[in-house]
């Protein structure tokens, strides 16, 4: 007799190939698996693979006899006791990883894994079946990735960073890492968030994508429409080796622009000092490139046209502009991922807005966010240097990271040595409307602290001195609608600019921005008996924002132990899991005088 809620192996397929699924199959393959199936069936060159379904996870848990044990352990959790939550979740993960996978399920997975490298057998040499099997190559490297099945679970997955594993090889390791993906359903973060969202743990399932790894000669990203400017051209960026270098901003990519008629309009070749690649065991290597390779064009004309063609096909299929990751191996193109472009609505015009001058630029790079900025150079080599940044300065660094965001908001422009259109500096600058140039290669070594420069974010050129007036992205009024539209304003210095939107209310002000502008951590005020000063900092910040709006919704402070470490008086110890650590209302209840000061500040503004 079949136990209620458990799916019989003969009633369902526990392993499905990309060819068998599409975007509507999230309940079987999870969001990631369903999307890969969708673009595979849209005839895109997707690396081959299959999905171990969410029902396979359920079958494994039941057959292993651990479902009741997991339920019992979950029922014992005190979700506000971080140490106990970590301990119980670790025990559940160990239980899953150490449990034997049912033979019928593991056999099906291993059989399909064997089919991934069947195309690599050289049948042209002939011989008996036995001889051909002897010529079978080594097992292929695969990526093993978690794929969440429902929106609630997807949010918990994001919060918990459920696991993915690259360069997995061999049937034993494959089964081991699939179980590790299953186990990652019970990271402390994911478990906590499911409980917080009242999503039943025994209704949370996970699919696992198993996809052949491509040993990339070249990799990159492309946009089916320019993400920065109002034109219909396809923008492509590429590097040698693996694509991680371009997404992280570690490597400056070549930049290409292709028309929708597949005419190559622009080619910009940069020096690519390094490449990320894979060794024979699957480990990641950083390789220093010889000058002849570093300065060589990555993509051929035929490759550019084929890539642009795929980008346009994906845009047509999804009905909106796409941000696409790709790689090439042996001249063959593979589409790895596609997602909508999020900045299309905020694009500006490029033509006629750059600086017209006979002056020779002192630095050139890739224009990543439009506008013109004038100010003092501040070279940032590490987070400790962020204190140098004052409102109106120009941040110059190798590449920005999330800890720099508050400082970036003060800047009139941003210039980086590395990166392309998808680097952190590019994305954040476009969102903030700050002029930005990336991939200059040498800005941090050529420019000098405190010298005045002009940054042309339209053309990617930096000039000595002030040779033009500042020009920022225009803020247009919100479109009249029955929906009550609000804005987000974290920094008082941005309130006036936000008010140009004509929105009447602020939907969210996070006081961390106000705290960061003060240069002092809340702990500093508490340790030095300066609670009144802390109240004044919060009051002045919120009051300045409130001057421009009829209504402001404020969130009390929420600073994790791994954030704002450069602020004066910041705690030195970082928790093992800051996301689940002492922050937000938990921190405020432990430090009630700080919370009361924030409340008093808000009350004063309200009056």
pLDDT of residue 329: 93
Q: Are residues 192 and 243 in the same domain?
A: no
Q: Are residues 24 and 137 in the same domain?
A: yes
pLDDT of residue 555: 93
Cα separations (Å) of 448 from 384, 396, 409, 418, 460?
18, 10, 21, 18, 18
High-pLDDT (> 70) share of the chain, %? 87
Q: What mean pLDDT comes out for the span 57-80?
A: 91
Handedness of CA 21, 22, 24, 28 (dihedral sign): positive
Q: Are residues 291 and 378 in the same domain?
A: no
Q: Residue 563 pLDDT > 50, yes or no?
A: yes
Cα separations (Å) of 2 from 10, 62, 66, 101, 106?
12, 11, 17, 19, 21
pLDDT of residue 392: 92
Q: Are residues 341 and 354 in the same domain?
A: no
Of 36-50, 111-125, 419-433, 444-458, which gets the smallest average pLDDT?
111-125
| Residues 483-528 pLDDT 10s | 888 888 887 877 887 888 888 999 999 898 888 778 789 999 999 9
Q: Is residue 8 part of a domain?
A: no
Q: Are residues 149 and 47 in the same domain?
A: yes
Q: Residue 2 pLDDT > 50, yes or no?
A: no
- Number of structural domains found in the chain: 4
Q: What mean pLDDT comes out for the span 436-459?
A: 93
Whole-number Å distance between alpha carbons of 302 and 258: 12
- Is residue 18 very low, low, confident or very high in pLDDT (cuts 50, 70, 90)? very high
Greatest Cα pair distance in the chain: 90
Q: Are residues 84 and 232 in the same domain?
A: no
Q: Is residue 30 part of a domain?
A: yes
Q: Are residues 42 and 186 in the same domain?
A: yes
Whole-number Å distance between alpha carbons of 213 and 208: 15
Nearest to 353 by CA among 373, 371, 375: 371
* Residue 386 vs residue 562, higher pLDDT: 386
* Residues spanned by the domain of 109: 15-212
Q: Is residue 496 part of a domain?
A: yes
- Is residue 180 very low, low, confident or very high in pLDDT (cuts 50, 70, 90)? very high
Q: What mean pLDDT comes out for the span 255-260?
A: 95
* Residue 152 vs residue 562, higher pLDDT: 562
pLDDT of residue 44: 94
Burial letters for 93-106: b for 16+ Cβ neighbours within 10 Å, e otherwise?
bebbeebebbeebb
pLDDT of residue 153: 42
pLDDT of residue 349: 57
Q: Is residue 536 part of a domain?
A: yes
pLDDT of residue 443: 95
Q: Is residue 356 part of a domain?
A: yes
| Residues 398-419 pLDDT 10s | 988 766 877 888 899 999 998 8
Q: Are residues 224 and 331 in the same domain?
A: yes
Asked if 251 contacts 218 with a C-beta cutoff of 8 angstroms, the reply is no
pLDDT of residue 481: 79
High-pLDDT (> 90) share of the chain, %? 47
Tell me the pLDDT of the chain averaged across its residues: 84
Cα separations (Å) of 292 from 181, 256, 289?
42, 20, 8
Q: Is residue 457 part of a domain?
A: yes
Active site residues: 424
Q: Residue 171 pLDDT > 60, yes or no?
A: yes
Q: Residue 136 pLDDT > 60, yes or no?
A: no
Q: Are residues 169 and 226 in the same domain?
A: no
Residue finishing a domain among 212, 244, 261: 212
- Is residue 343 very low, low, confident or very high in pLDDT (cuts 50, 70, 90)? low
Q: Residue 258 pLDDT > 90, yes or no?
A: yes
pLDDT of residue 285: 84
Q: Residue 132 pLDDT > 60, yes or no?
A: no
Q: What mean pLDDT comes out for the span 415-426?
A: 84
pLDDT of residue 518: 82
Asked if 433 contacts 473 with a C-beta cutoff of 8 angstroms, the reply is yes
| Residues 219-252 pLDDT 10s | 999 999 988 767 889 999 999 998 877 766 778 8
Q: Are residues 265 and 405 in the same domain?
A: no
pLDDT of residue 5: 42
Three-state SS for 126? coil
Query: Domain containing 304 — which CATH number?
Result: 3.30.470.20
Q: Are residues 263 and 399 in the same domain?
A: no
Q: Are residues 575 and 495 in the same domain?
A: yes
pLDDT of residue 402: 64
Q: How far apart are the first and last CA of the chain?
A: 69
Q: Is residue 478 part of a domain?
A: no
């Amino acid at each position: 007799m079949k136990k209620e809620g458990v799916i019989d192996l003969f009633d369902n397929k526990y392993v499905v190939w990309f060819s068998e699924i599409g975007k509507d199959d999230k309940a079987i393959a999870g969001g990631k698996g369903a999307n890969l199936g969708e673009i595979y069936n849209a005839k895109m060159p997707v690396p081959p693979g299959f999905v171990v379904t969410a029902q396979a996870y359920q079958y494994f848990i039941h057959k292993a006899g651990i479902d009741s044990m997991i339920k019992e352990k979950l029922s014992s959790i005190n979700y506000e006791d971080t140490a106990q939550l970590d301990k119980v979740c670790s025990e559940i993960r160990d239980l899953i990883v150490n449990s034997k996978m049912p033979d019928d399920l593991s056999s099906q997975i291993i059989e399909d894994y064997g089919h991934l490298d069947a195309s690599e057998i050289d049948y042209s040499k002939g011989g008996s079946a036995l001889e051909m099997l002897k010529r079978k190559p080594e097992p292929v490297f695969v990526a093993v990735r978690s794929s969440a099945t429902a929106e609630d679970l997807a949010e918990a997955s994001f919060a918990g960073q459920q696991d993915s594993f690259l360069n997995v090889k061999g049937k034993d390791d494959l089964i081991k890492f699939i179980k590790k993906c299953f186990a990652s359903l019970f990271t402390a973060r994911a478990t906590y968030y499911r409980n917080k969202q009242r999503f039943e743990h025994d209704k949370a399932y996970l699919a696992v994508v198993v996809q052949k790894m491509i040993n990339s000669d070249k990799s990159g990203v492309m946009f089916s429409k320019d993400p920065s400017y109002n034109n219909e051209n396809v923008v492509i960026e590429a590097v040698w080796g693996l694509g991680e270098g371009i997404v992280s901003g570690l490597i400056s990519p070549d930049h290409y622009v292709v028309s929708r008629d597949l005419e190559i309009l622009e080619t910009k070749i940069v020096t690519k000092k390094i490449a990320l690649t894979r060794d024979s065991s699957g480990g990641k290597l950083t390789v220093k490139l010889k000058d002849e390779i570093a300065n060589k064009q990555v993509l051929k004309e035929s490759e550019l046209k084929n890539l642009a063609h795929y980008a346009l096909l994906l845009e047509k299929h999804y009905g909106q502009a796409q941000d696409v990751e790709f790689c090439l191996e042996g001249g063959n193109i593979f589409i790895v991922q596609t997602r909508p472009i999020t900045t299309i609505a905020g694009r500006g015009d490029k033509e006629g807005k750059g600086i017209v001058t006979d002056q020779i630029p002192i630095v050139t790079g890739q224009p990543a966010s439009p506008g013109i900025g004038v100010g003092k150079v501040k070279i940032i080599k590490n987070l400790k240097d962020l204190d140098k940044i004052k409102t109106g300065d120009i941040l110059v660094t190798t590449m920005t990271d999330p800890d720099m965001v508050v400082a970036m908001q003060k800047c009139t422009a941003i210039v980086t040595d590395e990166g392309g259109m998808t680097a952190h500096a590019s994305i954040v600058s476009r969102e903030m409307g700050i002029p930005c140039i990336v991939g200059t290669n040498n800005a941090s070594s050529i420019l000098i602290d405190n010298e005045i420069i002009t940054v042309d974010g339209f053309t990617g050129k930096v000039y000595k001195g002030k040779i033009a007036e500042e020009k920022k992205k225009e803020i247009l009024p919100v479109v009249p609608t029955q929906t009550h539209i609000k804005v987000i304003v974290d920094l008082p210095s941005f309130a006036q600019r936000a008010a140009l939107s004509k929105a009447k209310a602020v939907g969210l002000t996070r006081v961390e921005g106000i705290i960061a502008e003060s240069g002092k951590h809340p702990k500093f005020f508490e340790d030095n008996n300066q609670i009144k000063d802390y109240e004044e900092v919060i009051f002045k910040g919120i009051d300045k924002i409130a001057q421009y709006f009829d209504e402001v919704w404020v969130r009390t402070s929420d600073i994790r132990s791994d954030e704002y470490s450069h602020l004066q008086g910041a705690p030195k110890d970082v928790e093992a899991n800051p996301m689940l650590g002492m922050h937000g209302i938990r921190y405020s209840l432990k430090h009630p005088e700080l919370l009361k000061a924030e409340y008093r500040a808000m009350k004063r503004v309200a009056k």
